[in-house]
Structure 1
Amino acid sequence: MLQLELWKRILIWGVVVLGLVFALPNLFYTRVEQANDARAAIAAGMDTEENQALAAQWPSFLPSNLVNLGLDLRGGAHLLAEVKVADVYEQRMEALWPEVRDALRDERATVGTIRLQDSEPGILRVRISQPEGMAKALEVVNGLARPVTSLTGAGASDLAVSSDGSDIIVQLSEAEKLATDDRTLRQALEIIRRRIDEVGTREPTILRQGTDRILIQVPGIGSADEVKAIIGTTAQLTFQPVISRTTNAETSPGIGNELLPAADEKGVYYVLEQAPVVTGEQLTDAQPSFDQNGRPAVNFRFNPQGARKFGDYTAANIGSPFAIVLDGEVISAPTIQSHIPGGSGIITGNFTIEESTNLAVLLRAGALPAGLNFLEERTIGPELGQDSIDAGALASAVGAIAVVVFMWASYGLFGIFANIALVINVAMMFGVLSMLGATLTLPGIAGIVLTIGMAVDANVLIFERIREELRVAKGPARAISLGFEKALSAIVDANITTLITAVILFLVGSGPVRGFAVTLGLGIITSVFTAIYVTRLLIILWFDRRRPKTIEV
């Protein structure tokens, strides 16, 4: 009969109330967003009166999760970056030179003197004075090779070693280049994600495109230049021995060395050994601080391997200058006063507080393994995003009004029950999206509009079935009960096929397609719940109160 146990009624209303409560913050979007940002700032140590006032705008006992707005709704920056993977090959060969030199020195009686030669990027060319010892030299250098650490390169060596007369030619093997490309892209993706997350942006989209490109979309940021300022710096930090200091920009550094400008002294250059003693990859932490004179600086700490190298070098080179190089500029070149154990130190320079904070963020997130070449950049203004929101809201309103009028005109009081369930359905959709922290895009709004149209399909099936039962002289209570029971299989079948489509779209699609699939899938689940349970409960409550002898659907 037309009855629902008390526990079922409580459960249904409980689910509805939960969905409405989680959807509530979206009605006060700006206020809740400001409160969330203020609370995050307070947690980070910025406990100011202004942040306290902003945090108090929204009660802490209420949910504060919001539906994140995508790039097309909020505005923001869109970038397509190409990772310069060839830079990594060059860095690998530069770092390999000290190992090759030291290994060949042990065989000097056979190979003679060893000299580094000029060569194209990504290739290490070493000349020996006794060509008759080439076979031994190749054997020694091949001994430095390691297996390729990837499934595709299983069994292959990471170095390709050959000879050209009296020169040894060393470069990465093809298998190692493929593995390096994959590692470089993965590392760049992770570091870009860390850097963007550090500055508190919401729901960025960072995806790999092809073999050497990365798609970056950051909603809510002012311009593409702001994103480039965050991620465009490689933050390659190295600690290199100083050979000399000069004011002549034309100074020839010599093979195996490099000439780099001083960051804070115009016209001053340093000749440095190209192979670094320690790199930023061995940093474990970096924090903004102040030096002994109260000027902004950055404290750093190495991992055990870097700490050992740093300590050994400082112990053996007391009284020698030591350059700290960031992205091709010498930011500091202090003289080593004593052995520095423990692997910690401080970077000083003419920093502002903001610059020292940004440098610490970049170093803490890690250095990009290679430079980025921005192939495409677009800034989507908030006005365009607001236009999209207005257009989506208008489409949703028109669709909802059309559905409400149709249901009321076709089914009278029962149509009003269906319309109430439709409003609850849309609210619950936003509640679930908020709980999941999902991102709403313009295609996602299209999914909501489609859901509004589909949401009453189940009610139409139920009401038509009730009409058929009334025609065969069933009583009102029996007709309503049978209408819900007999329409259930058709409702489930129709919605399961649509749900399967939404799942497939989500799994194989990307970006906007996924946004559409998410709202469509959630809309199907909430619409089935509201049609079968909420509408039925509303009808039962009305029927228990009125006890009509006859009904019209």
Structure 2
Amino acid sequence: MLTATLSPQAKNQIQEFALKQNLLTLHNRINELGVAEPIVQQQGLDRIVVQLPGVQDTAKAKEILGRTAALEVRMVTGHGTRSDARNYDPRKIEDALKGIIPAGSELLYSRIQEPLLVSKRVVFSGENLVSASPKPSQQGGGAEIAVSLDSKGAGSMKLTTRDGINRRMAVILVEKGKKEVLTAPTVQAELSSKFVITGMENLSEASDLSLLMRAGALAAPMEIIEERTVGPSMGEENIQSGVNSTLWGFAAIALMMMFYYMLFGAVSVTALAINLLLLVALLSMLQATLTLPGLAAIALALGMAIDANVLINERIREELRDGNTPQASIRIGYDKAFGTIIDSNITTLIAGAALFMFGTGPIKGFAVVHVLGILTSMFSAVMVSRGIVNLIYGYRHNKINKLSIGQD
């Protein structure tokens, strides 16, 4: 009889690896969009501190953080409910319930407590996952997850399903040593890199599961030993300063534009206010937390949005100097400025996308607000301002002799 033990150094290395893996996984789970900007850091040798600004549902947050779910897909080797599928053998299931389980298989239960004999060979796991997106079920009622696999997982899936048509395939959730069959559909055709997982009761359940699948499994189980809810007193002063800076900046821009461009300046300020409203609405839909990097991105978006209006107004001024009529100057000015605005904003969008892809934490959050600000500014500067100008001047085709744009 041989007895093997790990040395203290090996135990410490395993513990350190598991802790680092859990840090990364937790960060991925709670900050997929980068707008929550959590603080996830190690405390001591076996603890992790997680701070979640702006979270309202603490119970759901704890559930998502503490789950160690991992995904496995295996073939069913025996079942007793679907007579039209292969491996239908009620007697085999009865023997398994008595403890007589064939080699290479194990007895698992589905969510509706259906006993299934499942192969121990894994077709693919969560490591082979490229994407997992929840969506309403196409068969009516419930929800499903659209799954995309990497080349290794797709190859294994294709090879297995090629010989497994009309067999049942079990999608298994492994959590803290317990295995649960989420669903066991019948394979209807040869599958490869893209398919759907069915069996979720609602879209919320599918969203939570897909998030866990994308973020990966925890390397070691965790227990929440302390929970505290605190007010924003420490950062309240900084946030208020950021809000004041944005408001004062908006006021300064408004005064300058109305002084320099008169009525067209007022139109630009109105479009700018609508741009700010749209941006805040989008951030609210994403349940973004108002942080200093986010406020900085909002302030930058305001400056970029008014820059487009300045370009449009100057184009209109140029056309008036060239002797065009007011109506023609408005039309040509917007048309000429449109291409320049699109080109400049596309280059800025590329920079924002790079920040989102390669940045982390506050940088990623800044990038999200920055990109959304660019999109709303393009809409407000071109569509909203032109609509207001047409509303003011559009119905007086033969009565306009001069535009209130402060031209020389």
Distance 1:543 1:283, change over 3 A: same
Preserved contact between residue 193 and residue 206 of structure 1 (Cα < 8 Å): no
Distance 1:220 1:530, change over 3 A: closer
How far apart, CA to CA, are the structure 2 residues paired with 1:513 and 1:191? Answer: 18
Question: Within 5 Å, which residues of 2 pair with 1:402-481?
Answer: 402-481=252-331
Which of the numbers 520, 527, 530 marks the counterpart of 2:370?
520
Matched, 1:502 2:352: yes
Preserved contact between residue 399 and residue 449 of structure 1 (Cα < 8 Å): yes
Matched, 1:552 2:400: no
The DSSP-based 3-state class of the residue aligned with 2:401 is coil
Which of the numbers 385, 391, 395 marks the counterpart of 1:535?
385
Q: CA deviation at 1:503?
A: 1.0
How far apart, CA to CA, are the structure 1 residues paired with 2:41 and 2:249? Answer: 37
Matched, 1:218 2:41: no
Runs of 5+ consecutive residues of structure 1 not aligned to the other structure: 1-113, 124-170, 235-281, 287-300, 306-364
How far apart, CA to CA, are the structure 2 residues paired with 1:233 and 1:461? Answer: 52
Distance 1:483 1:514, change over 3 A: same
How far apart, CA to CA, are the structure 1 residues paired with 2:114 and 2:339? Answer: 64
How far apart, CA to CA, are the structure 2 residues paired with 1:283 and 1:448? Answer: 52
Q: Percent identity among equivalent residues? A: 39
How far apart, CA to CA, are the structure 2 residues paired with 1:193 and 1:477? Answer: 53
How far apart, CA to CA, are the structure 2 residues paired with 1:283 and 1:181? Answer: 33
User: Once superposed, what is the RMSD of the aligned Cα atoms?
Assistant: 4.8
Distance 1:193 1:503, change over 3 A: closer
Q: CA deviation at 1:499?
A: 1.4
Can you list the C-alpha shifts for 1:256-300, whole angstroms capped at 9, x where unaligned?
Answer: xxxxxxxxxxxxxxxxxxxxxxxxxx99899xxxxxxxxxxxxxx
Can you list the C-alpha shifts for 1:413-459, whole angstroms capped at 9, x where unaligned?
Answer: 00000011001000101122233344442101100011112211111
The DSSP-based 3-state class of the residue aligned with 1:369 is coil
Question: Within 5 Å, which residues of 2 pair with 1:117-156?
Answer: 121=7
- What amino acid is aligned across from residue 217 of structure 1 in structure 2? Q
How far apart, CA to CA, are the structure 1 residues paired with 2:304 and 2:230? Answer: 32
- What amino acid is aligned across from residue 511 of structure 1 in structure 2? G
- What amino acid is aligned across from residue 303 of structure 2 in structure 1? G
Can you list the C-alpha shifts for 1:191-223, whole angstroms capped at 9, x where unaligned?
Answer: 8999x99xxxx95848699xx99673322579x
- What amino acid is aligned across from residue 384 of structure 1 in structure 2? M
Q: Which residue of 2 aligns with 1:369?
A: 220
Question: Within 5 Å, which residues of 2 pair with 1:97-108?
Answer: none
Which of the numbers 221, 228, 235 marks the counterpart of 1:385?
235
Q: Which residue of 1 aligns with 2:129?
A: none
Preserved contact between residue 294 and residue 369 of structure 2 (Cα < 8 Å): yes
Q: Which residue of 2 aligns with 1:327?
A: none
How far apart, CA to CA, are the structure 2 residues paired with 1:417 and 1:115? Answer: 84
Which of the numbers 340, 360, 369 marks the counterpart of 1:490?
340
Question: Within 5 Å, which residues of 2 pair with 1:74-473?
Answer: 114=1, 116=3, 121=7, 203=36, 205=38, 216-220=50-54, 369=220, 381-473=231-323
Distance 1:438 1:383, change over 3 A: closer
Preserved contact between residue 204 and residue 216 of structure 1 (Cα < 8 Å): no
Can you list the C-alpha shifts for 1:75-126, whole angstroms capped at 9, x where unaligned?
Answer: xxxxxxxxxxxxxxxxxxxxxxxxxxxxxxxxxxxxxxx3758x55479xxx
Runs of 5+ consecutive residues of structure 2 not aligned to the other structure: 69-106, 118-211
Preserved contact between residue 66 and residue 221 of structure 2 (Cα < 8 Å): no
Preserved contact between residue 407 and residue 415 of structure 1 (Cα < 8 Å): yes
How far apart, CA to CA, are the structure 2 residues paired with 1:185 and 1:283? Answer: 32
Q: CA deviation at 1:410?
A: 0.6
Q: CA deviation at 1:498?
A: 1.4
How far apart, CA to CA, are the structure 2 residues paired with 1:432 and 1:213? Answer: 36
How far apart, CA to CA, are the structure 2 residues paired with 1:219 and 1:187? Answer: 20
Q: CA deviation at 1:482?
A: 0.7
- What amino acid is aligned across from residue 374 of structure 2 in structure 1? I
How far apart, CA to CA, are the structure 2 residues paired with 1:208 and 1:522? Answer: 29
- What amino acid is aligned across from residue 349 of structure 2 in structure 1? L
Preserved contact between residue 444 and residue 516 of structure 1 (Cα < 8 Å): yes
- TM-score after normalising by structure 2: 0.50
Distance 1:427 1:303, change over 3 A: farther
Can you list the C-alpha shifts for 1:6-59, whole angstroms capped at 9, x where unaligned?
Answer: xxxxxxxxxxxxxxxxxxxxxxxxxxxxxxxxxxxxxxxxxxxxxxxxxxxxxx
Preserved contact between residue 308 and residue 381 of structure 2 (Cα < 8 Å): yes
- What amino acid is aligned across from residue 220 of structure 2 in structure 1? P
Preserved contact between residue 185 and residue 208 of structure 1 (Cα < 8 Å): no
Distance 1:538 1:189, change over 3 A: same
Distance 1:115 1:186, change over 3 A: closer
The DSSP-based 3-state class of the residue aligned with 2:394 is helix
The DSSP-based 3-state class of the residue aligned with 1:456 is helix
Preserved contact between residue 188 and residue 368 of structure 1 (Cα < 8 Å): no
Can you list the C-alpha shifts for 1:449-494, whole angstroms capped at 9, x where unaligned?
Answer: 1111221111111111111111111100001111111112221222
How far apart, CA to CA, are the structure 1 residues paired with 2:400 and 2:365? Answer: 46
- What amino acid is aligned across from residue 418 of structure 1 in structure 2? S
Q: Which residue of 2 aligns with 1:65?
A: none
